[in-house]
Structure 1
């Protein structure tokens, strides 16, 4: 059964029934949150739809919390590995090739490439030929880099929390609390992409750090305070602002 959750005037989901039950037991959603599924006449509190599933009891002020409560208070993140992130990067690279090629063609990159080929065939000095090509395509290269930067910053701070490449492999970008990142944090995280214009190997080193850091963070993740986790944002419980109790105006 697929269940929708209503919160803050928005409908979230659909989620599987077992997910809802797990979130209720762990306290990730409130029993007061309103929910609806196909065939239900009106929105109902989760406590009415799933009366058997209740949050774990609050810890006693006179002693340590029960073992079950200790477990639910411990955040568990499923960190994405290097090859998963590499696969997402390849998909995004293929997608970004389209606007990059358009920009390159518009700003004279094709003519510069033809000129380079002509110089190579005529036996001209290769160092000078490559320098001329780099100068002729400098504007296109900068434009492509800016497009790439905005692409990553926008998608990773969006409600999807992921670029199309990450979405395809069911990954998402979060802060260290597992929440959606702001545009400012996404911009800081992806500043490494701008550094490629000056220091070609820095992005490679940033990504290699994923293989040895405890939480599989690249240097850009450590810099911005972010994680890349398995599971899309749509598979997670909707975020509940502090003090909110299941308000939904359907």
Structure 2
């Protein structure tokens, strides 16, 4: 397997964030919420934020566990998400990976930076979820015993 490195994964994330920002913007407009909250007495999080979280989870979990095995950003760059045996990941594993990304970010982004320094280009969230991000087409990546021995 040809593992995807740090910068290509950053670029894929930037591509993925664009539709999510657009959806968030539309949700905020439809809900009538201010795009920039300057009222210190207003709640920090709103119902729109909850909807945005659900959309984000659905986006990443749905795409990465689908037959595409990748979000649109990863697809655009020829990347897929697989388990450590090279198989498509389940929705439960994709869900766990999504929430493990929070831990990767909480520790000063070190969990993400690890991608650039680990043998199989895994971030902390990948290690926790037992996943790899590799170059490939859905369904065409398989277990390579030379990589794992």
Instruction: Provide Cα deviations, 1:32-66, integer angstroms capped at 9, x if missing partner.
Output: xxxxxxxxxxxxxxxxxxxxxxxxxxxxxxxxxxx
Which has the larger share of helix? Answer: 2
Moved over 3 A (4+): 199-203
The gaps in structure 2 that reach 5 residues or longer are 143-149
Q: Which residue of 2 aligns with 1:132?
A: 41
Task: Work out whether 1:108 is the aligned partner of 2:32.
Answer: yes
1:141-180 equivalences under 5 Å are 141-180=49-88
1:230 shift after superposition? 0.7
Q: TM-score, normalized by length of structure 2?
A: 0.83
In structure 1, C-alpha distance between the alignment counterparts of 2:116 and 2:32, rounded to whole Å: 40
In structure 1, C-alpha distance between the alignment counterparts of 2:105 and 2:28, rounded to whole Å: 20
Number of corresponding residues: 142
Contact 2:100 2:128 (C-alpha < 8 Å) held by counterparts: no
Q: Give the RMSD, CA atoms, in angstroms.
A: 2.5
Q: Which has the higher contact order (CA 8 A, sep 6+)?
A: 2
1:1-250 equivalences under 5 Å are 77-110=1-34, 113=36, 116=38, 129=39, 131-133=40-42, 135=43, 137-192=45-100, 195=102, 201-202=106-107, 204-233=109-138, 236=140
Which has the larger share of strand? Answer: 1
The gaps in structure 1 that reach 5 residues or longer are 1-76, 117-128, 239-250
SS at match of 2:109: helix
Q: TM-score, normalized by length of structure 1?
A: 0.51
| Structure showing greater Rg | 1
In structure 2, C-alpha distance between the alignment counterparts of 1:211 and 1:202, rounded to whole Å: 16
